[in-house]
Amino acid sequence: ILHDSLRPQGRVLVQQMSRGAKAPGGGAFIESYIAPDMHMRPVGETVGLLEGSGLEVRDVEALREHYVLTVDAWRRTLEERWPDFVDLVGEETARVWRLYLVGGALAFEERRMGVDQILCVRPDRAGNAAMPATRREWYGADR
């Protein structure tokens, strides 16, 4: 679907929550209360699926350590605005999300979960990707 949705030389950035090859994945709690359709897989498996569709993987960035900080910031905001959150979703749902954020930060810290961004391009028929040669050029550092 992604390949066919992109024009030739089009790019897509895929972000996924991931797990190690031997880690258990989301589990019953996440599947029941947080994201019933989440299927965490190792990043290498996702890369293989993307390449198998005809996309060219250009970059993979792991953001696990960043997400330890991100999820903790979300938790602090939840605590600071607890009454507003409870008014919005109810006490039970608010408690579920508090538990998820605390557990999520720990899972990222202990390397049981990760977050990865995968940059892909759909080359044209001649194999041209129209991508700059280096990350420095991607980010416009030479401008």
DSSP 14: E
Question: Is-contact 51 57, C-beta < 8 A?
Answer: yes
The pLDDT assigned to 35 comes to 78
Please state the φ and ψ torsions of residue 18, each to the nearest 5 degrees: -130, 175
pTM: 0.84
Question: Distance between CA atoms of 143 and 136, rounded to whole angstroms?
Answer: 10
**Residue 53, helix vs strand vs coil:** coil
For domain 2-126, the CATH class is alpha beta
Residue-level pLDDT at 86: 98
Among 66, 16, 68, residue whose Cα is nearest residue 43: 16
pLDDT average per 10 residues of sequence, the chain (143 residues): 93 92 73 79 95 96 95 97 98 95 92 94 94 84 59
Q: Nearest CA to 111 among 67, 70, 46, 141? A: 67
The residue ranges of every structural domain in the chain are 2-126
pLDDT of residue 25: 65
